[in-house]
Every structure is written in C-alpha cells, then in structure tokens.
Amino acid sequence: MSEKVLIVDDEPNVRLMYRAALSGSYQVFEADSGAKALEQCTARRHDVAILDLRMPGGMDGLELLGEMKRLNITTPAVIITAFADVPNAVNAMKLGAIDFLQKPILPEQLRTIVRDILLRHQPEPDQTRPRDFEYYLRSAKRAINLRDFQEAKRHLIKALELDSHSPQAYNLVGVMLEMRNEFNEARRYYGQAIKIDKHFEPAQQNMRRIFELFNFGSSDEPFNTENK
C-alpha cells in the first residue's frame, strides 16, 4: 500500500466512511479543514486528495485548490459536491479538478474514481506497448488535470480516431472546453455524448450544470478533430 490518499472534510463521520472504503488498499490521511490539509500537502506528497468543496469557516475546498495551485502542489483531487455547488464546481474545474462525486456517495463509487485517478497518473511502464483508446483517454484526463490543454487535445483526437462514438471522449472534450471558458462549445460536446448514450450520467451532470449557469439553445454539432 504505497499510494497515499488525503481525505479533507469537516465532518468526522464522513471522514470515517471514506477511510473505511479506502484504508484496505491505500495509506489514508485526514484533515478536518482546508488549512490543515494544506499543512499535510506541504509535509508529504499525496497521490489523490478527496475534497469537500463546502467546509464552514476558514479555508474551504475551493480555496484549498487555489492554494495548492499557487504552491505548485499537483495532487489530483476528487471533488465532493452537492447540486447547489454549481458555481464552485465550475471554479474547481478551472483549477484542474475534473473528477466529481455528488452526495450521497457509495463506497464503491469512491473506490472506483480513486483507482481511475491513480491509474492515469502512473508513468507508463513500457513505452513500446500499443496505445489503445483507454491509453489516450487516461492521458487526456491527466493532461487536463495539469491544465496542459494542447496535450489533452492531442490525446482526445487520437481517442476519437479510434472510437468516434465514445460518449466518454466527447464528454471530456466538453470538460476541457468548459475549463477554457468556452461554455457554448462545451455544451455542444456534452450534447453529443448524450446523443450517443442518453444514460451517460457524467455528460448529463455536466449539461445540467451548464444549463444552470447559462440559457443555451440546442445543437447537435459534432466534434471536429481537424479544427479543435
């Protein structure tokens, strides 16, 4: 168990639940405030941070993300939100956080998203192995976490060349565009993901957030890998 996971939440029972879900597989650390989490982030390197955006008093999760960016702490974060956190969720994305879980959270959901983040941020052990769709999707997510949009674009184009009907890839294009404040374009790609799979919940959530912030019309314009 070498991977380190930092849980940041002001509620002891929530931290206990997250710890119970993860401690069998990872080293788990806790902080009950953003300020204490920042102290831990400067004391040791964590592989994943689980942040509740809403923490009363002092530094909340969004402010913590901002401080982490200012100090060049690149720990990828799972953001815990409620639907009412829409503006904060958008700001968290602009700081490089693209992995969200909405309350209430099931332990398996938490374990799945932590595994996915750890996998995408691992160095590729063998550069000669075939680069398939999943490789390019993971690489695009990693680049978006680091706000390297040119690299993310390159990987997303490759992913869509391999699977032009992937809701995951179209949704991720939308995430990247939303982080760049290109909200109208982001909405189009979320819509394309939903057109491919109307039950693809990440795109549905992203579309709901966009419509909460702006009043857009409908469009089915597809992703153009030549121009994006």
CATH number of the domain to which 171 belongs: 1.25.40.10
> Taking the CA of residue 125 as centre, how many other CA atoms within 13 Å lie in the half-sphere pointing to its CB?
1
> Are 31 and 7 within 8 A, CB to CB?
yes
pLDDT at 220 over 70: no
Q: Mind listing the pLDDT tens digit for each residue in 2-29?
A: 899 999 999 999 999 999 999 999 999 9
- Report the pLDDT value the prediction gives residue 125, as an integer from 0 to 100: 56
Q: Is 109 exposed, middle or buried (0-12, 13-18, 19+ CB in 10 A)?
A: middle
Q: Which pLDDT value is given to residue 189?
A: 97
Residues 88 and 20 in one domain: yes
CB atoms within 10 A of CB 216: 15
Instruction: With respect to residue 221, please indicate whether it lies within any of the assigned structural domains.
Output: no
The tokens of 124 are what? 């590729």
Cα-based angle 64, 82, 92 (whole degrees, multiple of 5): 35
Is pLDDT larger for residue 111 or for residue 215? 111
Please tell me whether residues 35 and 85 are part of one structural domain. Answer: yes
Q: Which of 6-15, 49-58, 67-76, 122-131 is predicted least confidently?
A: 122-131
Percent of the chain with pLDDT over 70: 89
Q: What is the mean pLDDT of residues 137-154?
A: 92
Within a domain: 168: yes
Confidence of residue 113 (pLDDT cuts 50, 70, 90): very high
Residue 225 in domain: no
Domain assignment present for 100 = yes
Within-domain flag for 27? yes
pLDDT of residue 128: 59
Is residue 112 located within the same domain as residue 141?
Answer: no
CA distance 179 to 138: 18
The DSSP 8-state label assigned to residue 84 in this structure reads G
Structure tokens at 228: 């994006």
Number of independent structural domains in the chain: 2
Of 47, 36, 100, 110, the residue nearest 73 (C-alpha): 47
The domain in which residue 177 lies consists of 133-213
Identify the domain boundary among 53, 86, 120: 120
Residue 112 and residue 124: Cα distance in Å, rounded?
A: 20
| Predicted local distance difference test score (pLDDT) of residue 226 | 43
Pair (151, 61) in one structural domain: no
- pLDDT-based confidence at residue 219 (cuts at 50, 70, 90): very low
